[in-house]
Structure 1
Amino acid sequence: MIDFYILYQNIYKEGSYLLIQETKKNLKIMKHNFMGHKCNFKLQYQYIQLQNNLRVCMFEYLHGKNIVYRDLKPENILIGADGYLKLTDFGFAKYCDSRTYTLCGTPEYLAPEILLNKGHGKPVDWWCLGILIYEMIAGIDPFNDEDPMSIYQKILKGKVKFPRNFDKNAKSLVKHLLVADLTKRYGNLKGGVNDIKTHRWFGDMDWDALLQKKMPAIYKPPIKGKNDTSNYGSYPDSTELPKAIKSSDDPFINW
């Protein structure tokens, strides 16, 4: 079973386009539980592996529907009360059965083909997966820099440096994902997603049991009840009204 954040309804109002989504008060943003701080190292590492097993399944499903996601990052991954992941924020997702040319995504996660504006497709998601695996293990993304332009230059150079204690099997998978040459990038070869699923870093994963949620979760967010919001920050209600616009300037009038 693949979990995505559900959009129930969209409503047009003058000057606005409202998206009605599900409310999940017992979800936890993965970014705030990045390395499983209360777990020992072995448990942390198993947790990282399991999380990325789930992401592989998510992309396999989306790509099977000809949808490219294009915005994988910790902030867009939620952890449910059952310990399984839920993918959210499909703002950059697009139906794509060939190539698309929009420059979009998060700077640290952009694939080189997006930066070069030569057209991109589903392989960009596998590049993002490589970035996230690296970041979860090393604690920093491989092309990190404060300046976005410097990040882009590093991505195009394609030189990935691994910490000395980086797991050799994880390193092998990341290297096969962070390949600028699309004819060599895992997920885009003749074997498709199976090249990733059968990689030795994932070991003897029972993918069917994972999809059916029969595998016990390694970590579950601490939840006191279905209305527990302790895993979220507190934000005051906004009283600011949107700026009035003329009907002729309404960007949503033909949506």
Structure 2
Amino acid sequence: MRAKQMHLEIIEGTDKKFAIIISDESRQVVVTYDTSSKELQIPLINELAEFIRRNESQFRGILHNKKSESYYVGFRLDFSIIDGKDISKFKDRNNIIIREKGKVLVESAVGKNRLPEVYTDASYDERVEKGAFCVLRKELDGSYEAREFVCECQDSNSAELEAVIRALEIYEDDLRIITDSQYVRKGITEWIIHWKLNDWHTANGTKAKNIDMWKRLDRLCENRRVEFGYVKAHNNHFENEYCDLMARIKREEG
């Protein structure tokens, strides 16, 4: 799958309807978008317009995720779209999203796993500003190794992020990370692509949170294969429940 980098600028707006110019290295097209009705009009005038139409669901995802106050004349954003990306596969939480030597892939989790699994979970109590996390490695032979750590961060999302970072620092081989945090899973496989194009700003024009941590995680995914799987929290999943329990115990001890 090939990614195309483009630039977006809102050039006109009345009430909730906006004219947006999209450009690449050689072409441009003006699209209109209604933030209330979600109606998107893309005039088919050139190859760029055809590309956007062909990958409309990805473009809509960017527009839909923007907050209403970020729609104003003069707003600019660099973004990328992967030609032919199957959004449904990325949204399917049963699939594995893979970072491998600069590429992002998606595969079904069904079938024999070829990599050790590392489960992570964090527990953070905002009332006392204390947190901890557990890293549980499961080898292909079914044996386990568990480690617990006190968090250095100050909210639940960054605690989950720290857990995955520590896991990849401890274990330097190819791994399958399994987390109950969509923040971590989607952040490192999808959102970070746009953040890096925009000096770590989101589609709303605000700075992304936990930038230094995301940079660390991004570096740890380079030159190796890291598979990101998802498990629903508190759903009687043995490894996830174990990590949750041990993280809570470590948090209370710390």
Per the shorter chain, which TM-score range?
under 0.3
TM-score by length of 2: 0.21
TM-score by length of 1: 0.21
